[in-house]
Each structure stands twice: as structure tokens, then as C-alpha cells.
Amino acid sequence: MFEAVLLTVITAATPLLIAAIGELVVERSGVLNLGVEGMMIMGAVVGFAVANVTGSGILGVGAAILAGMAMSALFGFLVLILVTNQVASGLALTILGLGLSGMIGEAFIGVPGLRLPDLYIPGLSDIPFIGPVFFQQDALVYVSFALVAAVAYMLFRTRMGLVLRSVGDNHGSAHALGYSVIKVRFMAVLFGGACAGLAGAYMSLAYTPQWVENMTAGRGWIALALVVFASWLPLRVVAGAYLFGAVTVLTFHAQAQGFGIPSQFLSSLPYLATIVVLVLISANRRLTLVNTPACLGKPFVPDR
């Protein structure tokens, strides 16, 4: 029983982790992209469609990443080149993604999906309890942890990470030192879009291998909240993602056990937990400002 719960927690947490780690890089560069939900849902529908048509899960994942990057490129063009409002543009991106995904996915409703296979490591996968939990997951679960490690190393151990953080903390000084603020931010936005698209692919190819309209169900917003919850630190994103994944799974098990609690209330618990966490963090101003990029959400127009 515990093994089954743990396995479902992993699958519930993985898309949150992938999307949140991408958004963390975006926000570290000083850009606030509220369009994560829209990019995720586009990744989900494009990934499902391509995998279904080609019969290849790998091609589906690749197409989902490209779909997320295309959406993020549109956002980057609007906010970095045309200097539009980041909040409004992000919300518009989410609305666009939800509408466009519904149109694209209409032909795939009820179509059997293609599930990404679980990996099998001889010897290790056969170990009771430990094997199925740690060594018999699909490839994207391991990719999510690799992304966290890579982002943590890049941000705090490389010159690239130092430049990215300097752009997010003081874009004027970074520009004065000769760094291209627009280029750095655009690359960060593209990376965030790729991660959001990959998270969407996980939803439609691993978590629930089918296409259902609006299947991300607000997970993009939870991923945004996770970045704040983690104080913009990669390793804390892992803890936050698995915490929210556990809350989601426990609500399903509570419904199955028939505890007499309204199912609507149980379904809302992950989102209520998100609100509570954000309120608690916001109440502590010092905690909020510890790692917050100083230029987050502020537009940059280079001197001409």
C-alpha cells in the first residue's frame, strides 16, 4: 500500500518539479512569466498528438518541448523586444494556450494514448520496494532530478549562472559591464518554455496517457507558487514539488476510502495548500526578500 502511494506521489510531483525548475531560471533572470499553464497545456496536446501520429514517445516529448519553446518565444518577443507588461502578457499566453490546445486536441479526445515505458535496470529494479520506487520509473522522472542538479550547478558554480543572477538582480549594472541583458533573459525564457512543454508531455504521456481538455488543471499556477515557496533555490523546489504532489495523491486516496468529506473540498486541497503557503511566506518580509531577484518583473530598455 505504501509503495503504491509513493509511486503515485512521484508521478504527481514530476510535472510540477519540471515546470517549476524552468520558471525558477526565468525568474532568476528577472522575468516573470505567468504563462506556465498555457505552455504546459500546449506541450501536453502537441506531445500527445505527435506521439499518437508517429507512434514514438520520444518524438512526442521532443515536439512538446518545441511547442513550449515556441510559446515562450512569443512571450519573450512581447516582453523583451516590445517591452509589454509581463503580467498581462503572461496571462494572455495562458489564455492563448488553453484555447489553442482545445482546438488542436479536439480530434484526439477519447483516442487511446501512448505511454512512456518504465525503465528496467537488471538487478536493481528487482529489489523489493526500493527497486520499483527508485529504479523502475519512466525516463522523465530521472530527467527531472538531472534538471534540478544541472540548474543548481549552473546558477551557483558557473560564470553563466553568475551572469544570469546579476542580470536578475541589477540589469543596469550587468548592461554597463557589457552583458546583453535581452539575450540572457531571452535564453532563460526559452529554457523555461522547454521545461513547461516537457512537463506537459509528462502529463499526457506518463501521468495520464490520454488527451483531456484542460488536463493540466492549474498545475502551472502551482509551479509558479513553488518557485516562491522554494525562495528561488533549486533544491527547495524538489521538496516543494513532492509536498504538493503528496497532498494531491492523499486527496485521491481519501476520496477512495470514503471518509465522508465532500469530493469537491478534497479536490481543492492542493490549491488551498498553495494559497496558505504563499500567505505564510508573504507574511515574513525578510524571508520573501532573501533570494528574490531585485529586478523581477521590471522591464529593461537598453540605452541607445
For each of the domains in the chain, give its residue range(s) and CATH number, in order of start: 2-111+137-289 (1.10.3470.10)
If one counts every other C-beta atom within 10 angstroms of the C-beta of residue 263, the result is 11
Quickly count helices (H) and strands (E) in the chain.
Answer: 13, 0
Q: CA-to-CA distance for 108 and 101, rounded, in angstroms? A: 11
Q: What is the pLDDT along the chain (304 residues), one digit of tens a residue?
A: 677 778 888 999 999 999 999 999 999 999 999 999 999 999 999 999 999 999 999 999 999 999 999 999 999 999 999 999 999 999 999 999 999 999 999 999 989 888 998 888 887 787 887 888 888 899 999 999 999 999 999 999 999 999 999 999 999 999 999 999 999 999 999 999 999 999 999 999 999 899 999 999 889 999 998 998 888 999 999 988 998 888 877 777 666 666 666 766 767 777 777 777 777 776 776 766 677 899 999 999 886 5
User: Could you tell me if 272 and 2 are in contact, meaning their C-beta atoms sit under 8 angstroms apart?
Assistant: no
Q: How far is CA 291 from the centre of its chain?
A: 20
The pTM score is 0.93
The CA–CA distances, whole Å, from 271 to 233, 266, 274 equal: 22, 10, 5
